[in-house]
Amino acid sequence: IEAYERAVSIYSIDQYPINYSNIQNQIGLIYKDIAITKNRDTNLKKALDAHEEALKIFTIEKYPIEYALTQNYIAVSLGFLYK
């Protein structure tokens, strides 16, 4: 997580929007995996926040495949959250 958070400080949303969004999705996936073993609700909410951040760039109009993938990540995290 720390490495990805450092990467986000380098790959800003303004200068590297696609990289930024990909990193946000990776952060979300890691938080989802961590949630399986500890702080379930807190980590799933962090996962959802990261994926929502990715959707700032990955819109259905500009990046439909990435948008759909990110929506899938959100659905998986929500599934775990409300299980």
- Render each residue's pLDDT in the chain as its tens digit; 83 residues: 999 999 999 999 999 999 999 999 999 999 999 999 999 999 999 999 999 999 999 999 999 999 999 999 999 999 998 87
How many CB atoms are closer than 10 A to CB 13? 16
pLDDT at 2: 93
Give the predicted TM-score (pTM) of the model: 0.94
pLDDT at 83: 78
CA distances 37 to 27, 45, 74, Å, are 16, 15, 19
Contacts of residue 7, defined as CB under 8 A and 6 or more positions apart, other chains included, come to 19, 23
* Placement of tokens 């299980």 in the chain: 83
pLDDT at 53: 98
